[in-house]
Chain A
Amino acid sequence: MSDQENRLIRCFESVFPGLSAEEIRGTGAQSEGIWDSLAAVTLAAVIQEEFNLDIDPEILPELNSFEAFRSYLTRMIPETVNGNS
C-alpha cells in the first residue's frame, strides 16, 4: 500500500471512525447512513488540508467514494519512486 493511500485512509478514518481499512476502501456515497452531506464536506476539508490541495468545487460531487478520491489524488499528486508524494 502506498504512503498516499495510507494517508487517505487516515483521512477517511477521522471522518468515519467505525470503519476498518478494508471497509473504507469500499466506502462511497452509496454507503447508507454514513456518507451524508456533512461527512462529504468534512472529508473534503480534511483531504485538502492533509494533501495541501484546493479541490475544484465543480468536481467535488464526483468525489463520492474512496476509490474516486484515490484516483483523483493519483492524478493530482503523482507519487515519486520511493512512494512519497
Chain B
Amino acid sequence: MKLIEALKLARRPVPETARETKIFLACGFTPLHLQAFLTAEMRVRMPEYRITINTGLFGDLCGNIERIDPNGIDFLAVVVEWGDFDPRLALRTLGGWRPSQMGDILESATRTAARLKSGLTAASHSVPTIVCMPTLPLPPMFSCSPAQAGAAETQLRHIAASLALSLSQESGIRVVNGQALDEVSPLNGRYDLKSDVLTGFPYTLPHASAIGEALSTLIQNRPPKKGLITDLDDTLWSGILGEVGVERISWHLDAHTQMHGLYQQFLASLSGVGVLIGVASKNDSAVVEQAFTRKDLLLSKDDVFPIEVHWSRKSESVERILKAWNIGADSVIFIDDSPMEVAEVKTAFPEMECLAFPKNDYDEFWKLLRHLREVFGKSMLTADDAIRLRSIRDASAWRDASQSRKNSHDDFLKAAEACVFFESAQPDGDARAFELLNKTNQFNLNGKRFSESEWRSFVKDPAAFVLTVSYKDKFGLLGKIAVILGRTSGRVAHVSGWVMSCRAFSRRIEHQCLKYLFETLEADEITLDYQLTPRNGPLQEFLTELLGETPGETVRLSKEQFASKLPPLFHRLEGIVHV
C-alpha cells in the first residue's frame, strides 16, 4: 500500500453506528507513517469499527508498555527494534561501537529483554497484545565482516529470539512471524537511514506498510475455517483406485508421487488441531475401505469423518458431510483434482471455497499448502480442538441411537448416563468459550459477537457470571459445548449471552442450564436478552416451549413458570461452582 492510499483510507468516513476500537501502538521510534499504515489496514479489515491509535513517548518502549492503562485500550501493538534493547544499536545514538563495549551492550540487551518480557506478559493478561520483533538489519558495528556471523551479533539475535519464544508461549500474545514479513519485505529494502536520522522514523515506506499489514492481520485474528472435504483418487493418493487397485496407488518419492504424501501429512496435521476432515469420492466403498487399511497412509481413517464414497454427485456427498458436521459451507474448503467436480460443488455451494488439487504442478501445490495453513491457522489451541472430531463422531452415534430407539425418549436419556459439568470461565478469557460465543448461530440467545477485549473485560467483571458447560455420556465426550453469561441483581439473574453447540441438542442440557442458574444464583426470576436472528430458530423454539408463546425482546421466566415446564432431567452434575 502506498502512503497516499493509506492516508486516504485512514480518513475515510466511518458510519455513525461504528463501534470504537482503541489500539495503543508502542514503539521506541517516532511512529509517523507506521501509524497511518496501521490505521489504514485496520480500516480495511474492520470497516465496522472506528479505529483510534494512540502512541507513547519517543525513545521509551519499555516505559510505554509499563505505563499502559489496559482498561482504556482494546489492543496493544508493540514494534520492537534493536535500539530498544540498547540505544547503541540504533543509529541516532552515538554511544560507541568499540569491541570493548560489546559485553556491556549484550548485558544491557539481556536486561531490557527481561523487562520487555515482564511488561508485555503483564499487559497481555488484560489486553490482546501483538508483538513485532526487530525487523531491521543490525548496524555494521561488529568486528567480523558482514558475511560472517560473529559471536556478539549471534548473541544479540539469540537474546531477541529467546524473547520471541517466551512471548509466543503466552496465551494473550501473538508474535509477528518474521518469515512471513521476509517474503513481502526484503531485508535490504527496510531501513531508511535518512528518514531515521532526520525524523526518527527508521522504516522505508514499503516496509512500514508491510509491518502495518502484519500487525493488523494479528489484531483482526480472523476465525479459521473449520473443515476440509477432500477427494481420494489423484488427490489424497496418486492413481485411480478402481483401475490400479489398492497396492498400486502411491504417495512416495520412489513413485514420483511425493506431493500426495505431503498432502496426507498436511491433512493429518490439520486434523490434529481440530480441523474436520471429510472424504467425498466417487468410488467403490469396499475398495476404499481396503485402501484405508494400508499401514503407510499418513492420514489415518480415524482422522477422517465422514467418508462419503458412492457414485452419486459430489455435491450430495458434500451436503451430507456438512449435515454431519453441522457447520456452514462458508467454513469449509473442498479439494478435488477434477475441475469438473470442483465446478459442480461450487455451483451447489457458492459460498464454499472449492480448489483444484494441482497434481502435476509443484509450485501450485506449494501455494496450496501455504494457503490452507493461512485459512486454517489458529492463534492458539484449546483442549477441545483435540477432541472435536471424536466429539462429532460421538454426537453422530448418539443421533443414530436416538433415532433407532425402541423405548421412550425419557428412557433413552436415562440410559445415556450423561454428565454435565459447570465451570466458571477461566480468568484469562477462556479461548474455547470465546470461540463458541463467536461462532455459534443456531442456539444463540441474540447473535451478539464479542471482540477479544470485550470478552476479557466481561470475564473479569466481578459483577458478572460466565459459566461454561461441558458434557459427556456413554456415547462419548462432547467437551465444552455451552456458555452462559450475565449479571445478577438481587434475586434476578440477567442472562445477556447464551450459546450451545448444535452437537448438544436434544439432551435437555438447555433445561439443565436454567435449572442450574435458578439454584446456584438463588434466583426467583431469570431475564434473557433474547433477539431473533436469521439463524437462531432452535433457541426460539426452546423459549416458545417454555413460555407458551413466541418470545419478545426481553424474556422473563419465573422459577415457578420454569418448574411447571421442566421435563425430567437425568444428568449427573459435576464440578459444581458457585457463581
| Alpha-carbon distance A50/B8, docked complex (angstroms) | 14
The contact of B194 among A14, A15, A46, A57, by CB within 8 Å, is: A57
A contact residues around B7 at 8 Å (CB) = 14-15, 17, 42, 46
| Alpha-carbon distance A46/B205, docked complex (angstroms) | 9
| Alpha-carbon distance A54/B199, docked complex (angstroms) | 15
Q: Which 10 A-B pairs have the closest CB atoms?
A: A14-B7, A14-B4, A46-B4, A17-B11, A46-B3, A41-B199, A49-B205, A49-B3, A14-B8, A57-B198
A contact residues around B32 at 8 Å (CB) = 38, 41-42
Q: Interface of B with A (CB < 8 Å)?
A: 2-4, 7-8, 11, 32-33, 36, 194-195, 198-199, 201, 205
Contact present for A50 and B11 (CB under 8 Å): no
- Whole-angstrom distance between the Cβ of A37 and the nearest chain B Cβ: 9
The contact of B4 among A10, A38, A57, by CB within 8 Å, is: A10
Interface status of A45 (Cβ within 8 A of chain B):
yes
Contact present for A11 and B4 (CB under 8 Å): yes
Q: Which residue of A lies closest to B195 (CB)?
A: A45
B contact residues around A57 at 8 Å (CB) = 194, 198
The verdict on A45 contacting B2 (CB below 8 Å), with A17-B11, A57-B198 known, is no
Contact present for B11 and A49 (CB under 8 Å): no
Contact present for B194 and A49 (CB under 8 Å): no
> What are 24 A-B pairs at a CB distance below 8 A?
A10-B4, A11-B4, A14-B3, A14-B4, A14-B8, A15-B7, A38-B32, A41-B32, A41-B199, A41-B201, A42-B7, A42-B33, A42-B36, A45-B3, A45-B33, A45-B195, A45-B205, A46-B4, A46-B7, A49-B2, A49-B4, A49-B205, A50-B4, A57-B198
Contact present for A50 and B2 (CB under 8 Å): yes
- Whole-angstrom distance between the Cβ of B283 and the nearest chain A Cβ: 56
A contact residues around B201 at 8 Å (CB) = 41
- Whole-angstrom distance between the Cβ of B197 and the nearest chain A Cβ: 9
Q: Which residue of A lies closest to B197 (CB)?
A: A57
B contact residues around A49 at 8 Å (CB) = 2-4, 205
B contact residues around A54 at 8 Å (CB) = 194
Q: Interface of A with B (CB < 8 Å)?
A: 10-11, 14-15, 17, 38, 41-42, 45-46, 49-50, 54, 57
- Whole-angstrom distance between the Cβ of B155 and the nearest chain A Cβ: 35
| Alpha-carbon distance A49/B54, docked complex (angstroms) | 25
A contact residues around B8 at 8 Å (CB) = 14, 17
| Alpha-carbon distance A10/B33, docked complex (angstroms) | 18
A contact residues around B4 at 8 Å (CB) = 10-11, 14, 46, 49-50
Task: With A38-B32, A50-B4 given, name 12 new contacts (CB 8 A).
Answer: A11-B4, A14-B8, A15-B7, A17-B7, A17-B11, A42-B7, A42-B33, A45-B205, A46-B4, A46-B7, A49-B205, A54-B194
| Alpha-carbon distance A49/B33, docked complex (angstroms) | 12
| Alpha-carbon distance A15/B11, docked complex (angstroms) | 10
Q: Which residue of A lies closest to B7 (CB)?
A: A14
- Whole-angstrom distance between the Cβ of B209 and the nearest chain A Cβ: 10
| Alpha-carbon distance A17/B7, docked complex (angstroms) | 9
B contact residues around A15 at 8 Å (CB) = 7
Q: Which residue of A lies closest to B11 (CB)?
A: A17
| Alpha-carbon distance A46/B36, docked complex (angstroms) | 12
| Alpha-carbon distance A46/B32, docked complex (angstroms) | 12
Q: Which residue of A lies closest to B194 (CB)?
A: A57
A contact residues around B33 at 8 Å (CB) = 42, 45
| Alpha-carbon distance A41/B201, docked complex (angstroms) | 10
- Whole-angstrom distance between the Cβ of A39 and the nearest chain B Cβ: 11
A contact residues around B205 at 8 Å (CB) = 45, 49
- Whole-angstrom distance between the Cβ of B409 and the nearest chain A Cβ: 65
- Whole-angstrom distance between the Cβ of B284 and the nearest chain A Cβ: 61
- Whole-angstrom distance between the Cβ of B6 and the nearest chain A Cβ: 9
| Alpha-carbon distance A15/B501, docked complex (angstroms) | 49
| Alpha-carbon distance A53/B474, docked complex (angstroms) | 72
Q: Which residue of B lies closest to A55 (CB)?
A: B194
Q: Which residue of B lies closest to A10 (CB)?
A: B4
- Whole-angstrom distance between the Cβ of A16 and the nearest chain B Cβ: 10
| Alpha-carbon distance A54/B194, docked complex (angstroms) | 10
| Alpha-carbon distance A11/B6, docked complex (angstroms) | 12
A contact residues around B36 at 8 Å (CB) = 42
A contact residues around B2 at 8 Å (CB) = 49-50
| Alpha-carbon distance A33/B312, docked complex (angstroms) | 71
Q: Which residue of A lies closest to B9 (CB)?
A: A14
A contact residues around B199 at 8 Å (CB) = 41
| Alpha-carbon distance A42/B3, docked complex (angstroms) | 9
A contact residues around B198 at 8 Å (CB) = 57
| Alpha-carbon distance A61/B2, docked complex (angstroms) | 24
B contact residues around A50 at 8 Å (CB) = 2, 4
- Whole-angstrom distance between the Cβ of A10 and the nearest chain B Cβ: 7
A contact residues around B11 at 8 Å (CB) = 17
B contact residues around A11 at 8 Å (CB) = 4
| Alpha-carbon distance A50/B33, docked complex (angstroms) | 15
Q: Which residue of B lies closest to A50 (CB)?
A: B4
| Alpha-carbon distance A41/B205, docked complex (angstroms) | 13
B contact residues around A14 at 8 Å (CB) = 3-4, 7-8
B contact residues around A38 at 8 Å (CB) = 32
| Most chain A CB within a 10 A radius of its CB, from B2, B7, B8 | B7
Q: Which residue of A lies closest to B6 (CB)?
A: A14
- Whole-angstrom distance between the Cβ of A66 and the nearest chain B Cβ: 16
Q: Which residue of B lies closest to A11 (CB)?
A: B4
B contact residues around A10 at 8 Å (CB) = 4
| Alpha-carbon distance A46/B201, docked complex (angstroms) | 14
| Alpha-carbon distance A85/B11, docked complex (angstroms) | 29
| Alpha-carbon distance A70/B351, docked complex (angstroms) | 50
- Whole-angstrom distance between the Cβ of B34 and the nearest chain A Cβ: 12
Q: Which residue of B lies closest to A38 (CB)?
A: B32
Q: Which residue of A lies closest to B199 (CB)?
A: A41
- Whole-angstrom distance between the Cβ of B241 and the nearest chain A Cβ: 56
